[in-house]
Structure 1
Amino acid sequence: MTMMFKAEAFSPHESLAAELIPHATEGDDGSHDLAHILRVFRSAMRIHAAEGGKAHVLAAAVLLHDCVAVEKNSPLRAQASALAAEKASRILRELGWGDEDIADVAHAVTAHSFSANVPPETLEAKILQDADRLDAIGMVGVARCFYIAARLGSGLYDPFDPAAEDRPLDDKRYAIDHFQTKLFKLADGFQTRTGRELATARDKSLRDFLAAFMDEI
């Protein structure tokens, strides 16, 4: 697969994508790889079509929002988006971007992260946050949850108390605990009307999956 072919998947921002894709990801985390970037881009463009905003800023923020890799269990996890924003700013400055656009991209990148707990203040930041969180719920969210659990060495569930009725939830030990500790909370925090509409359907899929999973075990 050539770089140009990859860039064309990011139409109508393929020229920007060709410049930024080489910087878009680090490491070997399959939940934050180029496929994730592309899914977030498509969701962001879908929301942008309805909500507006500066398309070039949004596209750049999507392409660079995970340009620094920090594992989920790292003590630096809450700083990951700020580190990505710093790197994104350097990259865009080297490409000749203006200070205002760089600042807007940096804010969107910083605010997208759940762990950072930074409120998105611009429309582009709100759209990126929504688009990134859409990838954490629904069926793709289920797949990513179990992928990350396996990557970090977690079990699927507590065989003696899978619903955590008599124990504290612990998503570092059990994958399905992550549904309660984080994933089910995401749908209530969407920033745009279009994002909320998309999240409603995916949140239902997430809850239907867990109900079926619990029934099987």
Structure 2
Amino acid sequence: MEEKLQKIKEIAQREMKEAESAHDFLHVMRVYNLCLHLAKTDPDVDLEILKAAIFLHDIARVKEDSDASGKIDHAIFSAKMAQKILRNLDYPEEKIKQIEHCIVAHRFRSGNEPQTKEAKILFDADKLDVLGTIGIARSYTMAGRYGEKMYLDVSIAQYVKENLVGGKEGGRIKVISKHAPNLEYELKFKRIPDRLYTKEAKRIARDRLKFMDQFYKRFKKEMAGEK
């Protein structure tokens, strides 16, 4: 098992060598560590399925990021790539299906809810990586890349009405330069604990959100010259 997993890891590293820092292989390894932590409480988790899915879950991220058409969903495409890789390594078809499910279901927007223990753990760990100090670092990495503002002191209702498609929360951002990490935090990240499946992931998420809340409150005061 370990030999095959090492080969999978090496393949994923090669495929992701050009990935931007928020979704590079260091992200994969952070998710790996979180997954192993979350899996400790359940002896029935299949670690071979889980580990393979972790290494492969973002393998098509570079392809999505370089796709100007916006048609590539990295979760779906990663699952297709994983299928070929796993078959070449002589994985049983049943395990391939389970690994594919974990990969497809790890993304909010895929519309595929995690059904297995392994898929739920991967989903939770992947979401935890956008929270806390790492989440803040990732947010500002993305903000710099796409031209977002550092901070915008606007009402959430006003922002949703003016800059989200349909004037509804969850709508696509119209103008990225009118977006900012603190708005992403308010509209998306604060709600992550309610979307998680495992008790431990919910605990970690709440703890990380406390730090983010303190950070953005401090940021607002510094912007106003109060600190």
Q: TM-score with structure 2 length normalisation?
A: 0.81
For the structure 1 residues 182 and 205, does the alpha-carbon distance in structure 2 shift closer, same or farther, using more than 3 Å as the test? Answer: same
**8 Å CA contact retained: 1:187, 1:203:** no
Q: Does 1:68 align with 2:60?
A: yes
1:21-170 residue pairs with structure 2 within 5 A? 21-24=9-12, 25-26=15-16, 27-52=18-43, 53-69=45-61, 70-71=64-65, 75-76=70-71, 79-158=73-152, 162-164=153-155, 167-169=158-160, 170=163
For the structure 1 residues 163 and 106, does the alpha-carbon distance in structure 2 shift closer, same or farther, using more than 3 Å as the test? Answer: same
Deviation for aligned residue 1:16: 4.1
- Looking at structure 1, the residues matched to 28 and 197 of structure 2 have their Cα atoms a distance apart, in angstroms, of 20
* 1:111-157 deviations in Å (ceiling 9; x for gaps): 11122132100000000000101101111011101101111122213
User: Which structure's residues are more often helix, by fraction?
Assistant: 2
- Looking at structure 2, the residues matched to 73 and 211 of structure 1 have their Cα atoms a distance apart, in angstroms, of 36
- Looking at structure 1, the residues matched to 211 and 111 of structure 2 have their Cα atoms a distance apart, in angstroms, of 26
For the structure 1 residues 93 and 166, does the alpha-carbon distance in structure 2 shift closer, same or farther, using more than 3 Å as the test? Answer: closer
Q: Which runs of 5+ in 1 are unaligned?
A: 1-12
For the structure 1 residues 155 and 96, does the alpha-carbon distance in structure 2 shift closer, same or farther, using more than 3 Å as the test? Answer: same
For the structure 1 residues 102 and 142, does the alpha-carbon distance in structure 2 shift closer, same or farther, using more than 3 Å as the test? Answer: same
Identity among equivalent pairs (%): 27
- Looking at structure 1, the residues matched to 202 and 110 of structure 2 have their Cα atoms a distance apart, in angstroms, of 21
For the structure 1 residues 155 and 14, does the alpha-carbon distance in structure 2 shift closer, same or farther, using more than 3 Å as the test? Answer: farther
Deviation for aligned residue 1:46: 0.3
Report the residue type matching 1:124 in the other structure: E
What is aligned with 2:170?
Answer: none
Report the residue type matching 1:168 in the other structure: Y
Deviation for aligned residue 1:51: 2.6
- Looking at structure 2, the residues matched to 163 and 147 of structure 1 have their Cα atoms a distance apart, in angstroms, of 22
- Looking at structure 2, the residues matched to 62 and 36 of structure 1 have their Cα atoms a distance apart, in angstroms, of 10
Deviation for aligned residue 1:14: 5.5
Q: Does 1:209 align with 2:215?
A: yes
Deviation for aligned residue 1:34: 1.3
For the structure 1 residues 117 and 185, does the alpha-carbon distance in structure 2 shift closer, same or farther, using more than 3 Å as the test? Answer: farther
Deviation for aligned residue 1:204: 1.4
What is the root-mean-square deviation of aligned Cα atoms in Å? Answer: 2.1
For the structure 1 residues 157 and 90, does the alpha-carbon distance in structure 2 shift closer, same or farther, using more than 3 Å as the test? Answer: same
Q: Which runs of 5+ in 2 are unaligned?
A: 164-172
Q: Does 1:19 align with 2:3?
A: no
Of structures 1 and 2, the larger Rg is shown by 2
| More off after superposition, 23-32 vs 181-190 | 23-32
SS at match of 1:66: coil
For the structure 1 residues 73 and 207, does the alpha-carbon distance in structure 2 shift closer, same or farther, using more than 3 Å as the test? Answer: farther
* 1:150-201 deviations in Å (ceiling 9; x for gaps): 111222133xxx1335732456332222112211121211111121122121
- Looking at structure 1, the residues matched to 85 and 67 of structure 2 have their Cα atoms a distance apart, in angstroms, of 27
Q: TM-score with structure 1 length normalisation?
A: 0.85
For the structure 1 residues 18 and 142, does the alpha-carbon distance in structure 2 shift closer, same or farther, using more than 3 Å as the test? Answer: same
What is aligned with 1:6?
Answer: none
Report the residue type matching 2:33 in the other structure: R
- Looking at structure 2, the residues matched to 181 and 76 of structure 1 have their Cα atoms a distance apart, in angstroms, of 24
